[in-house]
Amino acid sequence: MQEGKLNPKNYTDEEFDVITSFEVLEHINNPVEEIKIFHKLLRLGGLVYLTTPNFNSISRYYFKRSKLIKIRTV
């Protein structure tokens, strides 16, 4: 497991079966380059599992509204 910027020099090509990235890609200046690095580090048949926030989700709307209500009542 690694936290922080992915440095491909720390790994050999095709070293991983699975690469995960949770809620990170939207913070990277060049996400396409990051995905290319994933591809280089994955073994043939490997899997990349990543998530990004859904800014149009109902939960975002609900929590944003709940936060506003709490702020107004404090």
| Whether 11 contacts 42, CB under 8 Å | no
How far is residue 1's CA from residue 3's CA, in Å, rounded to a whole number?
7
Q: What is the pLDDT of residue 70?
A: 46
The pLDDT, as a whole number, for residue 54 is: 75
pLDDT exceeds 50 at position 74 = no
What is the pLDDT, as a whole number, of residue 25? 86
- Nearest-angstrom CA–CA distance, 4 and 47: 20
What pLDDT sits at residue 61?
Answer: 66
Would you state the pLDDT for residue 19? 94
pLDDT in tens, 24-71: 888 888 889 999 999 999 999 999 999 888 777 676 666 666 554 444
